[in-house]
Structure 1
């Protein structure tokens, strides 16, 4: 009998959390910056996106996915591009002995 444990998970199981996202079917420009966007417009857009994410039932799954794939763009799980880059740097930095 074939060892099926090494097969990839079904796609629907991998992406099903997105069906429950608060941002589903919303304007992408709320979560991804338009060309040439600068503060204070950027700050307002990010605040709107975070407010949507704050009430989302799949916020943790969304943020986890963005971290796993090292998503470089947009607001995912209420976290900005800069916040994800900082988290990635922390994960990759050598740990110093305490």
Structure 2
């Protein structure tokens, strides 16, 4: 889908006004919503991590939030596993 659309829809021009950026990002997200590989595209952008543009229906700022949540969850899981190992050994 996005390969057929103009790349400018997914990446911000320099000094783009906020209202224009928000409208462009929403238009890009609508394209993403119809895409059969949206989840794969999003995971690619999260694993790279891609610092710019709309990928898999998420902006760069939204991807940073997802990554921060994943990191917090991983820390919580490691702490829980360590606590469990201590309890079992004790």
Corresponding pairs, count: 76
User: Who is 2:8 aligned against?
Assistant: 29
Partner of 1:48: 27
Q: Which has the larger radius of gyration?
A: 2
Shift of 1:91: 2.1
Q: Aligned to 2:18, what secondary structure does the other structure show?
A: coil
More helix by share: 2
**Structure 1 CA distance, aligned partners of 2:17 and 2:53?**
14
**Residue 85 (structure 1) aligned with residue 85 (structure 2):** no
In the alignment, the residues of structure 1 paired with residue 15 and residue 65 of structure 2 have an alpha-carbon distance, to the nearest angstrom, of 23
Q: Return 5+ residue gaps in structure 1 as ranges.
A: 1-21
Corresponding position of 2:84: none
2:86 matched residue in structure 1: none
Alpha-carbon shift at residue 92 of structure 1 (Å): 2.3
* C-alpha separation in 2, matches of 1:71 and 1:43: 19
Pairing partner for 1:67 from 46, 55, 64: 46
Distance 2:35 2:69 in 1: 26
